[in-house]
Amino acid sequence: MSEASYTPLTRPKMAARVARDVEEGWYVNLGIGIPTLIADQVGDREVIFHSENGLLGMGPAPAPDKIDPWLINAGKQHVTLNKGGSFFHHADSFAMIRGGHLDLCVLGAFEVASNGDIANWATAVDDSAPAVGGAMDLAVGAARVWVVMEHLTKEGKPRLVKSCSYPLTALGVVQRIYTNLAVIDVTSRGFVLRETVPGLSLSDLQAITGAPLLVEENSHG
């Protein structure tokens, strides 16, 4: 049971792992942080990226000499628009989100509970002026909500928990979690382990996970 026996995924590799499960034709919103990296990893599949500030068909960052100051994403980064993209206002943009038109939203999180609750906006109960942005709308609106995050906090505490300790973003919405160590589905029975990095045993993973990990019979563990 040595930590050296397995290698946690890097952030780009985590993004690549999520990207593998993104299907052609999906409309996808990517949160700030690791989720943003997914866009570059979908390869030849045509995936339409949505940015809540009014873009569909968001493309990669422009070359430094091609920056268009009017074209930013929700993370305030300069982006491009792919052919067939469109612009719309905030109410229409969140109609897409809240109305269930996005096939997928990938969010970062501080914690996810085994009932699918997510906490990803306020870092503490007494945080006086946290910035929620579109996180709560995205979490309740998309057809699929996936979370990508480190398996543990910097202090070594589990982020997959029985019940969130941080202020909640939404109740029971997360369907899948990608960490640097594993892929876990959130089911009506709780966390179900789908895969781990090579060399990491279920018991080792369970030891650093704050809620039971189930394994289904036909799981690719």
Partner 1 sequence: MIDKFVRSIAEAIGAVADGATILVGGFGSVGQPNALIEGLIEQGAKNLTVVANNAGTGHTGLAKLMELGRVRRILCSFPRSAGSVVFEELYRAGKIELEIVPQGTLAERLRAAGAGIPAFFTPTAVGTRLAEGKEEREFDGRRYVMETALPGDLALIEAWRADRLGNLTYRESGRNFNPVMAMAGKVAVVQSQHIAEAGEIDPETIITPGIFVDRVVHLPYGDLAA
Q: Which stretch binds partner 1 (CB under 8 A): 144-152, 167-175, 187-195, 196-204?
A: 167-175
Q: Which of residues 64-103 bind partner 1 (CB under 8 A)?
A: 68-74, 76, 81-91, 93-102
Q: How crowded is residue 221: how many other Cβ atoms within 10 Å of its Cβ?
A: 13
Distances (CA, A) of 130 to 30, 58, 108, 126, 196: 20, 27, 16, 9, 33
**Size of residue set near partner 1 by CB under 8 A:** 60
Q: Which of residues 12-71 bind partner 1 (CB under 8 A)?
A: 24-25, 27, 46, 48, 50-57, 68-71
Letters for 118-157 (x = contact with partner 1 by CB under 8 A, - = none) are ----x-----xxxxxxxxxx--xx----------------
Catalytic-residue membership of 52: yes
Q: What are phi and psi of 11, to 5 degrees?
A: -60, -45
Place of tokens 């593998």: 20
The gap between the terminal CA atoms of the chain, to the nearest Å, is: 17
- Selection from 42, 50, 70 nearest residue 134 by Cα: 50
Residues classed as catalytic = 52
Binding site for partner 1 (CB under 8 A): 24-25, 27, 46, 48, 50-57, 68-74, 76, 81-91, 93-102, 122, 128-137, 140-141, 167-171
